[in-house]
Amino acid sequence: MSMRDQFEDDFTPPTQSSSDRVPPPKVPGTAIAAATPAPLPPRRSREMWVEDPNAIRRLIARTLDLVDSVADTVAEGLGLRRT
* DSSP-assigned states of every residue in 28-81: PPPP-----PPPPPPPPPHHHH--STTHHHHHHHHHHHHHHHHHHHHHHHHT-S
Query: Which residue type sits at 73?
Result: T
Look up the pTM and report it.
0.37
Tens digits of residue pLDDT in 27-49: 777 777 777 788 888 877 665 55
- Residue with the larger pLDDT of the pair 77 and 6: 77
